[in-house]
Chain A
């Protein structure tokens, strides 16, 4: 009961964009023995999802989004990151993340970015509304790039993930990288259909799978 109450409080603090409270509840949660991965997947990620929904509904403004993102970032960097597994094994591996063309939702992408960075990956963040050619150009530009993360929140923009894969194939880059496709509408079926490698519906599972495929797990 105590744990549930604390989780709820952290959830609220992130939604309200109050980094101070969020930090203190997150510390309490860690002290109570809750696994940091659970804190992310059961509290922080759902909180950020709610914030995104509130923005979509017109209840939240950009200033509110930024406040929540800041609360998330502080909790992640100061409380969770130091307790995640050492990222040494992934050092030197570069991942390119972006939200696909036509889509400007970046909360999911940012959560994945935080997790990958915590694991020692260098993440190149291309931002939102990224065309397939841009992904391909960046992949082409550096040898160390081994992972491409394509985020899409909407079923209407999911199709762009397939276009990025086609562009990578066209340039002969497909085999160079592991392609992670993420976002609310993404399923394992979709991953198979478009020839991606990893389903990013859950950032932790995706990270684990990527590390296995890279042989650094």
Chain B
């Protein structure tokens, strides 16, 4: 079946970058802030030099051999929704925004738990954004539990899988426990993926390295998100940043596999060009995207499931730039065949979420997924018989052909919010206003999937205890 597939590295080029990254790991090594984590690697055959952990090639090869090539992803209620490893294209809201942009506002504001609940409800009703994420950092929750509380409205209202992460080492076990309140086998048949980012160049913080260790032990998928800052924390060249990125992700994979053989790990990333004049981190710069496309090929070469931060915008408003950046990055991500694509809703250098943008991005996700699905070339689809019949006997009008009606439903993508009306039926409103109307409609009439009363009761108990630890009253949303 013809299907567009985008690759940028030849096998030889991928091999070259891979071997250079192995060389970096064995000669330059990786710094682990946490000595206990470093010890895990030292005990397994790594060596120490100048405070850095040198990882020999054999350790990397062994780890890669043990890393699962496919990961089954379930929903909250235990139904399998996807297999990662072959370009599953699971779009999810760009995560952990510290701001939300309200409809009509020029300045974003600090979000609340209530905002996160609304976001969850909106995403639950968007067809092409197949996973939730802990997308907002609620400013009205105590700082010590700001990562954990984000799971609450998601678990309560949504069935979709969740992309998330912990902000501290201590909270990772708490978040993992919280999942088991909802479903006993939430680790073995996971519906969550946890992000863990190395700190470029070639270094792991205490928090994220411990997160990897805990996740590997629990058997819950971790997503290793290297984030080379081109021209700041990484070489400015695409090849240099890709090599550094690859080495960092490999170091995370080695750690996970050393802790627990066959631990599920996703090869992720969020490369960003540092703007040469403003110092801002551009996720949608062509150079950033080229790094993502290149590491997608490296992961393909190693047979690993993949993640990227694409399908998002660096613009401050929902405007021409946001639409263009969203669409071009989302399309490239789908054509490259990533499994998990984090981005929708996101603005301003991964800092700001917008409900209206989520609705609009859902349209983009639908469009690009349609393109990436390709088309069939069966006898029925090539349709020479239909052409012959219609041309010779039906006056050349395919509108009348049953073939058209049959394939319209199957093959044609119909946008929901995008304006395709003739002027006579046009609402006169901009696409941004339409998106807002959709947000309002979803919040009023949308469907969601609450937990059973028993499980909800248990979740509330867990939630209450969590807040009590900070001596504050739980906020229920």
Contacts and interface: CB of A to CB of B under 8 A. Distances in A.
B interface secondary structure, majority: loop
Interface string A50-78: 00000100100111000000000000000
Contacts of B139: none
Contacts of B104: none
A58 to B, nearest CB: 7
B273 to A, nearest CB: 12
Nearest to B236: A63
Interface residues of B, number: 6
Nearest to A56: B277
A107 to B, nearest CB: 15
Nearest to B275: A62
Nearest to B274: A62
Contacts of A62: 274, 276-279
A44 to B, nearest CB: 23
Interface in A103-129: none
Nearest to A55: B277
Contacts of A55: 277
A55 B276 CA distance: 10
B323 interface: no
Interface string B274-292: 1011110000000000000
A189 to B, nearest CB: 34
A55 B278 CA distance: 10
Interface in B236-287: 274, 276-279
A172 B274 CA distance: 43
Contacts of B276: 61-63
A62 B276 CA distance: 6
B303 interface: no
Nearest to B276: A61
Nearest to A62: B279
A61 B278 CA distance: 8
A63 B277 CA distance: 8
Contacts of B279: 62
Contacts of B278: 62
B312 to A, nearest CB: 24
Nearest to B278: A62
B388 to A, nearest CB: 62
B108 interface: no
Nearest to A59: B277
A104 to B, nearest CB: 10
B236 to A, nearest CB: 8
Nearest to A61: B276
A62 B273 CA distance: 13
Contacts of B274: 62
Contacts of A58: 277
B68 interface: no
A63 to B, nearest CB: 7
B231 interface: yes
Contacts of A63: 231, 276
**Interface core residue of B231, B276, B278, B279 (most chain A CB under 10 Å):** B276
Contacts of A61: 276-277
**Interface core residue of B231, B276, B277, B279 (most chain A CB under 10 Å):** B277
A188 B276 CA distance: 36
A134 to B, nearest CB: 20
B237 to A, nearest CB: 13
A94 to B, nearest CB: 29
A182 B125 CA distance: 56
Nearest to A60: B277
Nearest to A64: B276
B252 to A, nearest CB: 29
A63 B232 CA distance: 9
Nearest to B277: A61
B107 to A, nearest CB: 15
For the complex of A and B, the 3 pairs showing the least CB-CB separation, nearest first, are: A61-B276, A62-B279, A61-B277
Given A58-B277, A62-B278, 9 more contacts: A55-B277, A61-B276, A61-B277, A62-B274, A62-B276, A62-B277, A62-B279, A63-B231, A63-B276
11 contacts: A55-B277, A58-B277, A61-B276, A61-B277, A62-B274, A62-B276, A62-B277, A62-B278, A62-B279, A63-B231, A63-B276
